Chains A and B, each alone.
Chain A
Amino acid sequence: MYAYDHYDQQLVDERVAQFRDQTSRYLAGDLTDAEFLPLRLQNGLYVQRLAPMLRIAVPYGLLSAVQVRKLAQITRDYDKGYAHISTRQNIQINWPRLEDVPDILAELASVQMHAIQTSGNCIRNTTTDQFAGVAADEIEDPRPYCEIIRQWSTLHPEFAFLPRKFKIAVCGSHEDRAAIHAHDIGLELHANSAGEMGFRVLVGGGLGRTPVIGSEICQWLERRHLLSYLEAILRVYNKHGRRDNKYKARIKILVKAMGVDAFRRAVETEWASLKDGPTTLTESEMARMATFFTPPPYEQPDAMSDKAAVAAAAAAEPLFANWLRRNTVAHRVDGYRAVTVSLKATGNPPGDVSDSQLDLLADLCEQFSFGELRTTHQQNIVLADVRERDLHALWRSLQAGGLASPNAGYLTDIICCPGGDFCSLANAKSIPVAEAIQERFDDLDYLYDMGPLELNISGCMNACGHHHIGHIGILGVDKKGEEFYQVSLGGSQSKDASIGKILGPSFSRSEMPDVIETILSVYVAERLEDETFLQAFRRIGMQPFKERVYARVDPQ
Chain B
Amino acid sequence: MPALIRNNTIVSDEWCFDASDSDGIGRRRAYSLSEWKEDGRPAHAGVQMEPGDDCRELAEALPRLELIAVHFPAFTDGRGFSMARELRDLGYRGELRARGHILPDQMHFLHRCGFDAFQPDDSSRLGASLERLQGFSEHYQAAVDQPLPLFRRRG
Chain A residues near B (Cβ < 8 Å) = 5, 7, 10-11, 14-15, 18, 22, 30-31, 35, 38-39, 121, 151-152, 154-163, 227, 235, 238-239, 243, 273, 277-279, 281-282, 285, 288
Contacts and interface: CB of A to CB of B under 8 A. Distances in A.
A31 B105 CA distance: 10
A285 B154 CA distance: 10
A7 B138 contact: yes
A406 B76 CA distance: 46
Nearest to A284: B151
Nearest to A6: B138
18 contacts: A5-B154, A10-B137, A10-B138, A11-B140, A14-B135, A14-B137, A35-B103, A38-B75, A121-B78, A151-B150, A155-B109, A156-B140, A157-B109, A157-B143, A158-B143, A160-B109, A161-B76, A281-B151
Interface string B81-111: 1110100010000000000000101101110
Nearest to A160: B109
Contacts of B11: none
A157 B108 contact: yes
Nearest to A15: B136
Interface in B128-155: 128, 135-143, 147-152, 154
B113 interface: yes
B109 A121 contact: no
A243 B138 contact: no
B136 A161 contact: no
Contacts of A155: 109, 136, 139-141
Given A157-B81, A159-B81, A277-B142, 13 more contacts: A14-B136, A22-B105, A151-B150, A157-B109, A158-B81, A158-B85, A160-B106, A161-B81, A235-B82, A238-B79, A239-B79, A278-B149, A278-B152
Given A11-B136, A11-B138, A14-B136, A279 B149 contact: yes
B142 A159 contact: no
Contacts of B136: 11, 14-15, 18, 155
B78 A278 contact: no
A505 B43 CA distance: 65
A158 B149 CA distance: 14
A39 B105 CA distance: 8
B109 A152 contact: no
Contact of A279 (B78, B105, B109, B141): B141
A526 B103 CA distance: 61
Contacts of B75: 35, 38, 161
B112 interface: yes
B77 interface: yes
Interface of B: 75-79, 81-83, 85, 89, 103, 105-106, 108-110, 112-113, 128, 135-143, 147-152, 154
Contacts of B103: 31, 35, 39
Contacts of B141: 152, 155-157, 279
> What are the nearest 8 A-B pairs in CB distance?
A161-B78, A157-B112, A157-B109, A285-B151, A151-B140, A158-B81, A278-B142, A238-B82
B43 to A, nearest CB: 24
Given A14-B136, A158-B113, A282 B152 contact: yes
Contacts of B147: 278
Given A158-B113, A278-B149, A238 B138 contact: no
Contacts of B76: 38, 121, 161
Contacts of B128: 30
Nearest to B90: A273
A535 to B, nearest CB: 45
Given A151-B150, A282-B152, A285-B151, A160 B78 contact: yes
Given A22-B105, A238-B81, A279-B142, A157 B113 contact: yes
B135 A18 contact: yes
